[in-house]
């Protein structure tokens, strides 16, 4: 029998509310203020929460439950940010939030990472080790890229969920352990298609899909959205840089945005979604004069041709545009690999490079120095 699923779509394109982080907290009346302060102080800008203000009552109800949550959306859309928000709003907020990427790791190591192991349980297991479900007991375990979970790990996770938190460490079959961790999963894949292709267990899908949340891509953005992201990211970085204190307004310090810079930021396609937007604003605030954001203050790679040229179109370009297009293609391809792999080390291996060389090429492409 299929478990009933509650599904809601969170529109990443919805303009966030105007005002500072403090104003957002006042708007989110259904969330107790003490859950947004103290130990649960935000470590990221509030863009994700601002896109779900209207759904705050639902998210609050979801947060107090222990059932699994499945968050779907493209890379960079803020799935982990949303998972952390749910954790902060829950009764588990004082307990640990732990995030694990399910992709690019061998099955044995992933099982060890999740459930722990005893000394000698496999080659290289020189000591006993606690797993994530034990470390985050009473808190929240975020399983990113759940669609990449290997077959045996899928079975182990299903048994853990069906057994109400009972599990066995690797090499400890006779020793039963128990954890009250809550599971939140995320994926950028179509899991129903993965089920049809025989790559993901249908029973596990319905077990983790009690509450289903879907995030959308950021692009395209309009003037209202750009103004609000500009305001909120600046406010966050102003606090981070010590320009203002938490709870204080930063509008008097907010640099204006020139028409040329605004046009470029509106027309850019943001392949990295909110993660890329955050990095762009960090770059901009570090490079502008503090009064006006000019076109020249934007990262080089978004000032170059935005499209990836094909075949003869690329070969027919003048030398300067050819150089810009090549750098653009390489930067986007390497960045996409990092997004898919989860970190630079894994991405570098796919190109048979050391991580230092990969990072250098990525930086050279970003700054237009590959050619």
Tell me if 64 is assigned to some domain.
yes
Tell me if 301 is assigned to some domain.
no
Tell me if 358 is assigned to some domain.
yes
Mean pLDDT on 9-14: 40
Looking at residue 181, its pLDDT comes to 95
Looking at residue 46, its pLDDT comes to 44
Looking at residue 85, its pLDDT comes to 86
What residues contact 173, with CB distance under 8 A and at least 6 apart?
none
What residues contact 237, with CB distance under 8 A and at least 6 apart?
281, 282, 285
Residues 210 and 88 in one domain: yes
Looking at residue 310, its pLDDT comes to 44
- Any idea what the CATH number is for the domain that residue 90 is in? 3.40.50.300
Tell me if 143 is assigned to some domain.
yes
Looking at residue 233, its pLDDT comes to 75
Looking at residue 14, its pLDDT comes to 38
Choose among 167, 189, 162: nearest CA to 178: 167
DSSP letter at 188 equals S
Share of the chain above pLDDT 70, in %: 74
- Size of the chain in residues: 371
Q: pLDDT tens digits, residue range 42-86?
A: 444 444 434 455 566 777 888 889 999 999 988 877 788 889 989
Q: pLDDT tens digits, residue range 211-247?
A: 988 887 777 777 877 887 777 777 777 766 666 666 6
Q: Which CA distances in Å does 52 have to 27, 56, 216, 319?
A: 11, 6, 12, 46
Of 46-50, 60-64, 252-256, 353-357, the range with the lowest mean pLDDT is 46-50
Range of the domain at 337: 309-371
Residues 63 and 206 in one domain: yes
Instruction: Using the predicted structure, report yes or no on whether residue 208 has a pLDDT greater than 50.
Output: yes
Domain boundary among 173, 199, 215: 215
Residues 208 and 313 in one domain: no
Residues 210 and 325 in one domain: no
Instruction: Using the predicted structure, report yes or no on whether residue 343 has a pLDDT greater than 50.
Output: yes
Tell me if 76 is assigned to some domain.
yes
Mean pLDDT on 133-157: 94
Q: pLDDT tens digits, residue range 295-310?
A: 888 888 788 654 444 4
Instruction: Using the predicted structure, report yes or no on whether residue 286 has a pLDDT greater than 70.
Output: yes
Answer with the residue of higher pLDDT: 289 or 151: 151
Domain boundary among 165, 182, 215: 215
Instruction: Using the predicted structure, report yes or no on whether residue 1 has a pLDDT greater than 60.
Output: no
**How far is Cα 348 from Cα 362, in angstroms, rounded to an integer?**
10
Mean pLDDT on 177-205: 94
Strands 256-257 and 140-144: unpaired
Looking at residue 123, its pLDDT comes to 66
Looking at residue 317, its pLDDT comes to 60
Residues 198 and 318 in one domain: no
Looking at residue 16, its pLDDT comes to 35
99: β partners: 142
Most confident option among 48-62, 108-122, 203-217, 333-347 = 203-217
Counting the structural domains of the chain, the total is: 2
Residues 175 and 68 in one domain: yes
Domain boundary among 215, 235, 251: 215
What residues contact 313, with CB distance under 8 A and at least 6 apart?
none
Instruction: Using the predicted structure, report yes or no on whether residue 277 has a pLDDT greater than 50.
Output: yes
Answer with the residue of higher pLDDT: 237 or 284: 284
Instruction: Using the predicted structure, report yes or no on whether residue 5 has a pLDDT greater than 70.
Output: no
Tell me if 57 is assigned to some domain.
yes
Tell me if 253 is assigned to some domain.
no
Answer with the residue of higher pLDDT: 339 or 210: 210
Confidence band of 41 (pLDDT split at 50, 70, 90): very low
Mean pLDDT on 92-96: 93
Tell me if 296 is assigned to some domain.
no
Answer with the residue of higher pLDDT: 315 or 36: 315
Where would I find the beta strands (DSSP E) of the chain?
6-10, 69-72, 97-101, 140-144, 166-167, 177-178, 182-187, 211-215, 256-257, 292-293
């Amino acid at each position: 029998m299929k478990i009933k699923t509650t599904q809601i779509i969170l529109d990443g394109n919805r303009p966030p509310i105007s005002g500072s982080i403090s104003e957002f907290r006042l708007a989110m009346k259904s969330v107790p203020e003490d859950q947004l302060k103290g130990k649960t102080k935000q470590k990221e800008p509030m863009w994700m929460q601002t896109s779900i203000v209207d759904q705050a009552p639902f998210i609050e109800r979801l947060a107090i439950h222990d059932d699994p949550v499945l968050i779907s959306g493209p890379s960079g859309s803020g799935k982990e940010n949303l998972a952390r928000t749910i954790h902060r709003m829950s009764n588990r907020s004082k307990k640990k939030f732990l995030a694990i990427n399910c992709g690019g790791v061998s099955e044995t190591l992933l099982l060890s990472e999740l459930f722990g192991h005893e000394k000698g349980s496999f080659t290289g297991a020189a000591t006993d080790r606690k797993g994530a479900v034990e470390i985050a007991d009473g808190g929240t375990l975020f399983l990113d890229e759940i669609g990449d979970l290997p077959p045996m790990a899928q079975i182990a996770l299903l048994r853990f969920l069906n057994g109400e938190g009972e599990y066995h460490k690797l090499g400890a079959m006779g020793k039963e352990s128990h954890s009250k961790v809550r599971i939140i999963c995320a994926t950028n894949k179509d899991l129903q298609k993965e089920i049809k292709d025989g790559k993901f267990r249908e029973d596990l899908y319905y077990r983790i899909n009690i509450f289903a949340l879907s995030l959308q891509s950021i692009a395209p953005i309009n003037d209202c959205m750009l103004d609000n992201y500009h305001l909120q990211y600046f406010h966050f970085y102003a606090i981070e840089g010590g320009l203002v204190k938490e709870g204080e307004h930063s509008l008097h310090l907010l640099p204006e945005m020139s028409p040329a810079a605004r046009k470029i930021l509106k027309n850019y396609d943001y392949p990295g979604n909110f993660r890329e937007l955050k990095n762009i604003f960090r770059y901009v605030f570090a490079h502008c004069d503090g009064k006006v954001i000019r076109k020249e203050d934007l990262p080089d790679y978004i000032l170059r041709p935005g499209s990836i040229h094909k075949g003869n179109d690329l070969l027919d370009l003048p030398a300067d545009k050819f150089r810009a297009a090549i750098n653009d293609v390489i930067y986007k391809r390497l960045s996409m690999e990092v997004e898919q792999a989860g970190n630079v080390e894994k991405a570098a291996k796919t190109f048979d490079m050391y991580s230092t060389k990969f990072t250098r090429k990525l930086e050279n492409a970003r700054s237009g120095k590959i050619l």
